[in-house]
Chain A
Amino acid sequence: MSTPARNQASFILGAAALLALASTIVLGLGLPPTLEQGPYARLIAIHPPLAWAAYLAFGVTAVASVLYLWQRTRSRVWDRVAASSAEVGVVFTALTLVTGSIWGRPTWGVWWTWDARLTSTALLLALFLGYLALRGVQTDVHTRAKRSAIAALVAVVDVPIVHFSVDWWRTLHQGRSLAQLTPQSDLDGSYVAVMLLGFVAMTLVYGWLLVERYRVEALEEHFDDQGLGLALEERRAEGEAVAVP
């Protein structure tokens, strides 16, 4: 009975991710408070990187779903990648909204505002929560994989439409944080550096979580496939152990 083992590459990736995350936190907390936003400006070290990781995760889900639906590349590997990435993506999206909200309360004076960017992120979260709910339904593995892949694509196709509609609806949103990377921005150099480190850290964390989540998914499927036979064997072994004094 071999199970997919935790391999060395994943260990190194995990170590690198944690190290990068720890340095982002330490350096981020060490940033000087800004005049307008006070200490809350430090959230820039993690908030935009979280959003980036969420987009990356859903992008990976979409690509993996296409690869699953395409007959020539169909494999349960892609289904597992899509599932794992979507789950990690939902966590990152939720964290993006939470950190944004924490920043918004002291800066804008409200926890939530119907700004275009916020609204479309919230809808993105809802779309992929639906996707995960569909994945959670007990049914034939192949049926589930195919339907989930189609649902992921429908959701991804909806994202630009959602974006346009809320953009036209609420055009009063703030500037993009990536646009602040341009040289003429008045953002302090150390802020930019820590934010870039944050991007690296979140990408690594995403990669590591994806690998580990994939491993768990594979183990679960393995367990489902082998579980019954294994349980029978164990019971038989118990019976023999009792029979032989």
Chain B
Amino acid sequence: MWRDAALVAGKDLRIEARSRVATNQVAPFAVLVLVLFGFALDPDRGILVRASAGLFWVAVLFSALLAVQRSFAIEAVDGGSDGLRLLGLDPAGIFLGKAAAVFVELVALELLLTAGVVVLYGVDLGGAGLMVATAAVATLGLAAAGTVYGALSAGLRVRETLLPLLLLPVLAPVLLSATRAWEVALGSSVDDGWRWVQLLGVFAVVYVTFGLVGFGALMEES
């Protein structure tokens, strides 16, 4: 299973590295979202700094939608998903591989967005431990849930519009928890930030388990 996962993740990441869709389209989109928030909320630094944690995670969520869509779009062409099945790969391995590739892309994107909020919004970073832990666990949850829903909507004619409707409500707790934890880390709120990390951990565990168990059923048809 782990070997299969590594193969699939390697394949997806190589495709992204060569096609440059992630670097040329998804990453600029994410930064553009930050800029748009700047327009919407006025260049009043006070508001932007206070809201930066939430804006950061909304930008991550939108970019995650694109990353997931992309992850399944590359399987849709040239019978990619049939090929994966014919190779006899473990469905759980395929799930882990695809989720891992999305995870890596999102982490790279989050680093870029962090630089973005520092430069554009003038945020002072702090509480590095809490920030990194939150981002790691939240991204794991995003990647796992995203991959499950990506497979659910893969191959349907209306997948582009269906995926956000299905995925965003499910990801709402991630947005909420990650935002609260980052607010604590950035010093704009006083709360027990680690409690939110625990909740994110539960979310991640639930959806990784769900993907490991249920991905076989989703792969066998479609």
Contact = CB atoms under 8 A, between A and B. Distances in A.
Interface in B171-201: 172-173, 176-177, 180, 195-196, 199
Nearest to B192: A168
Contacts of B36: none
A143 B210 CA distance: 18
A169 B176 contact: yes
B158 interface: yes
A210 interface: no
Contact of A137 (B156, B170, B214): B156
Given A143-B222, A147-B218, A157-B210, A162 B172 contact: yes
Interface stretch (B57-65, B75-83, B114-122, B161-169): B161-169
A130 B199 contact: no
A69 interface: yes
B217 A150 contact: yes
Main secondary structure of the interface of B (DSSP, over half): helix
B157 A137 contact: yes
Interface stretch (A12-20, A121-129, A195-203): A121-129
10 contacts: A134-B162, A146-B221, A147-B152, A150-B152, A154-B152, A154-B207, A157-B206, A162-B173, A164-B173, A165-B199
A143 B172 CA distance: 27
A131 B166 CA distance: 7
Interface string A103-146: 00000000000000000000100110111011001111011001
A81 interface: no
Interface residues of A, number: 31
B199 A164 contact: yes
B153 interface: yes
Contact of B173 (A150, A155, A158): A158
A137 B158 contact: yes
Interface of A: 69, 123, 126-127, 129-131, 133-134, 137-140, 142-143, 146-147, 150-151, 153-155, 157-158, 161-162, 164-166, 168-169
A12 B90 CA distance: 52
A150 B162 contact: no
A124 B27 CA distance: 31
Contacts of A158: 169-170, 173
Contacts of A147: 152, 218
B134 to A, nearest CB: 13
A164 B203 CA distance: 11
B202 interface: yes
A123 B171 CA distance: 10
B146 to A, nearest CB: 12
Given A130-B166, A133-B166, A154-B210, A139 B180 contact: no
Nearest to B153: A134
A24 B158 CA distance: 43
Contacts of B149: 151, 154
A168 B176 CA distance: 10
Contacts of B195: 168
Contacts of A69: 217
B169 A130 contact: yes
B9 interface: no
A142 B173 CA distance: 31
A168 B162 CA distance: 30
A156 B221 CA distance: 23
A208 to B, nearest CB: 29
Given A134-B153, A146-B221, A154 B170 contact: yes
Given A134-B152, A162-B172, A169-B176, 5 more contacts: A137-B157, A146-B221, A154-B145, A161-B202, A166-B173
Given A137-B157, A164-B199, A130 B165 contact: yes
B148 interface: yes
Contacts of A151: 149, 152, 166
Nearest to A147: B152
Given A134-B152, A134-B166, A139-B156, A165 B173 contact: yes
A150 B218 contact: yes
B216 to A, nearest CB: 11
A129 B167 CA distance: 12
Interface string B19-39: 000000000000000000000
Nearest to B211: A154
